[in-house]
Amino acid sequence: MNYYQKYIENMQLEDLNIVLKVAQFRNITAAAESLDMHTATASAALKRVEKALGAELFIRSTRKLRLSTAGEKYIPQCEQALALLNQARQEMKDQPGLIEGELRIAISSDLGRNIILPWLDEFMDANPKISLKLHLSDSTIDFYRDPVDIALRYGSPTDSNLYGYIICPVPRCLCASQAYLDKYGTPQHPQDLVTHNGLFYQLHDIVHDVWTFTDGKQQYKIKVNGNRTSNDGDLVRRWCVSGKGIATKSCLDMSGDLLSGNVVNVMPEFQPKPTDLWLICPSRQSITPAVRLLRDFLKEQSADVLNKLASKGLIP
């Protein structure tokens, strides 16, 4: 049995891709960075492949890796396997309806209701054999307790045992309605926020009322006062649109309101701390063809929205 057959048997497409990246960079950390994952995750994938083969593919040194005799033999077969599998995947994408299965996905409230839901409708129209179970919640997901297989969340996974794909980098913005700004004035500097009414998101017992900004040279941390707090990000967005105060939000969450003029990106020269949107999976077994297809679709959709915001000058 050659490597390709062994690989197909074990269904380790992501592990194979990681091994090829390690071979390309001769460095596990550099390979992990190029794939937007933790070094520990990449290292674990390499170990799994080597264990399956019963041979080390790389000779480790203090500074970088070099191919072993087994690696020189198997890496070309790895490349062939990945090319064939990618070709098969592309053929499936080119023929909608071939991929099937159930997606049990958790999404935060604001992002899910206002951005992802119409995307999922489009995705399922193109892939009618995929079924969906959607879990909308801003609470932290426990994959062993909650009835979900994947989660779409801001911020990289903190548990190195989890698998994650970065969907897109997401700028954040300080936003308010024009009516609010007309009534209370437009802040010109982060220090001006001490006289404004903040709208706050709360996760568990933590109220996010300390906002961080940078102008590219200096960082500013501001403790903001406000009279409205919620554990539902969508409610904070609604308060902001209705002129109840000023908020820091993901530009992706606020994209519809920014494009329609419901809110204004306030003092854009001072940027709130950005974040990333990740698709998180608890195990390799969760990474089905449907999940990979959804990942690629989300990347395309989010890039389109962020490019539209940038082209209209609504985000830097």
pLDDT in tens, the chain (316 residues): 343 344 334 436 678 888 888 988 888 888 888 887 788 888 888 888 888 788 899 988 766 788 898 888 888 888 887 777 777 666 655 555 578 889 999 999 889 999 999 999 999 999 999 999 999 988 877 787 888 889 999 988 777 778 888 999 999 999 999 999 999 999 999 999 999 999 999 988 899 999 999 998 999 999 999 999 999 999 999 999 999 999 999 999 999 999 999 999 999 999 999 999 999 988 877 888 899 899 999 999 999 999 999 988 888 7
Name the packing angle between helices 39-53 and 3-10 (round to 10°): 120
CB 84 within 8 A of CB 4: yes
Residue 198 DSSP one-character state: B
CB proximity list for 42: less than 8 A, separation 6 or greater: 18, 21, 22, 28, 29, 31, 32, 35
Q: Which of 252, 233, 286, 236 is nearest to 105 (CA)?
A: 286
* CATH class label, 172-273: alpha beta
* CATH 1.10.10.10 segments of the chain: 3-93
Q: Which pTM value belongs to this model?
A: 0.69
CB 168 within 8 A of CB 255: no
CB 143 within 8 A of CB 114: no
The predicted pLDDT at position 95 comes to 58
Q: Which of 256, 274, 242 is nearest to 111 (CA)?
A: 256
Query: Fold for domain 101-170+276-311?
Result: D-Maltodextrin-Binding Protein; domain 2 (3.40.190)
Residue with tokens 């000023």, as numbered in its chain: 246
* CATH 3.40.190.10 segments of the chain: 101-170+276-311, 172-273
Alpha-carbon separation of residue 87 from 53, 80, 96, 244, 302 (angstroms): 24, 11, 15, 52, 24
* CATH class label, 3-93: mainly alpha
Alpha helices of 143-200 — where are they, by DSSP H?
178-184
The predicted pLDDT at position 93 comes to 59
Query: Cα 15 vs. chain centroid, distance in angstroms?
Result: 20
In the chain, the DSSP E strands lie at 58-60, 65-67, 101-107, 130-136, 150-154, 163-170, 172-176, 199-203, 206-207, 210-214, 219-223, 228-230, 247-250, 264-266, 271-272, 275-281
The predicted pLDDT at position 285 comes to 77
Residue with tokens 């064939």, as numbered in its chain: 84
Residue with tokens 């009414």, as numbered in its chain: 197
The predicted pLDDT at position 88 comes to 65
